[in-house]
A = this chain, B = another copy of it.
Amino acid sequence: MYYETIKVLDCTIRDGGLVNKHDFSLEFVRRLYTLLTAAGVDYMEMGYKNSPELFDPKEYGPWKFCDDDLLWKVKDGIDSKMKMAVMADVGRVNMDAVKPASESPYQMFRVASYVKNIDKGISMVNAFHDMGYETTLNIMAVSRDRGPELDEALHQVNEECKADVLYLVDSFGAFYQEDIDKELARYKGIVKNKKFGFHGHNNQQLAFSNTIQAIINHVDYLDGSVSGMGRGAGNCTTELLLGFLKNPKYDLRPVLDAIQELFLPLQSKYEWGYIIPQMITGMLNRHPQDAIAVRKTEEKDMYRKFYEHMIND
């Protein structure tokens, strides 16, 4: 038995791009696009739609900007029904450069917003919606900002926002399964006109179990990344997720190929996943930035010192 409404969104190139400054080759992304298509994945998130006026294209790979031309090149000659998604950060997109959905290579815009920027997030979502895109609103760092300000934001989302999907995002990998139950009950109690999604981080090895917990709570849009590649501790792995879902449209084999062919070599160059400093930030409900920073220093493995620093900070 399976939930027919479930959609798997692979965010490897977008969230994984935060690990390698979005520096994937076109060949790499085309191969992953082919394999994820074969695996039956519903959406592939290609990166950020950032304005090149805000970030230096010499410093970042092309998937930080996701030019339409680039995404057309990904698709070129590959037969695929998988949809493409891009992510927009509040205040970082040149809205004038976005074409209507009917003329662009991607079908979905995901808008990432903190609670404090929710007005701007909603306004961006609504603009993309009016241009014909499927849209999601991903409220980040909810484990931190879950006081009355979150309720207020959710009411605003319910009343003003045209997003198709509202995402619960565990940016810090701080949620336990009972947090998932509680926050989703809150989301669903206030927001009555949307589907729901979940995006987890693996600081405490809970990204997959929290995703299962979201499924138990009838959440339909599920994020995974191949080998869990994503910022810091990374994400729920696409392979665990597809293995869990009993829907016959998904096939694990092409994802296993992707890991073997594409991600094993990457893992010797870049670090992501469960490591102690990441565990500590997750456990303390803190942004992963301190853990990422300490891993680039000579004190990368001085765990007690990092812990003392974080709890006394």
Contact: B213 with A264, CB < 8 Å? no
Q: A interface, by DSSP: helix, strand, loop or mixed? A: helix
What chain B residues lie within 8 Å of A212 (beta carbons)? 176-177
Please count how many residues in chain A sit with their CB below 8 Å of the partner chain's CB atoms.
36
Task: Known A243-B283, A276-B239, A283-B243; judge A256-B209 contact (CB<8 A).
Answer: no
What chain B residues lie within 8 Å of A256 (beta carbons)? 276, 303-304, 307
Contact: A213 with B177, CB < 8 Å? yes
What chain B residues lie within 8 Å of A209 (beta carbons)? 176-177, 205-206, 208-210
Q: Other than the known A205-B205, A260-B276, what 20 A-B pairs have Cβ atoms closer than 8 Å?
A: A176-B212, A176-B244, A177-B212, A177-B216, A204-B243, A205-B207, A205-B208, A205-B209, A205-B237, A206-B208, A206-B209, A243-B279, A253-B304, A253-B307, A256-B303, A256-B304, A259-B276, A260-B301, A260-B302, A260-B304
Q: CA of A213 to CA of B213 in the docked complex: distance in angstroms?
A: 11
Contact: A208 with B204, CB < 8 Å? yes
What chain B residues lie within 8 Å of A260 (beta carbons)? 276, 301-304
Q: CA of A216 to CA of B180 in the docked complex: distance in angstroms?
A: 14
Report which residue of A178, A209, A213, A259 has the largest number of chain B beta carbons within 10 angstroms of its beta carbon. Answer: A209
A252 within 8 A of B: yes
Residue of B nearest to A273 (CB): B274
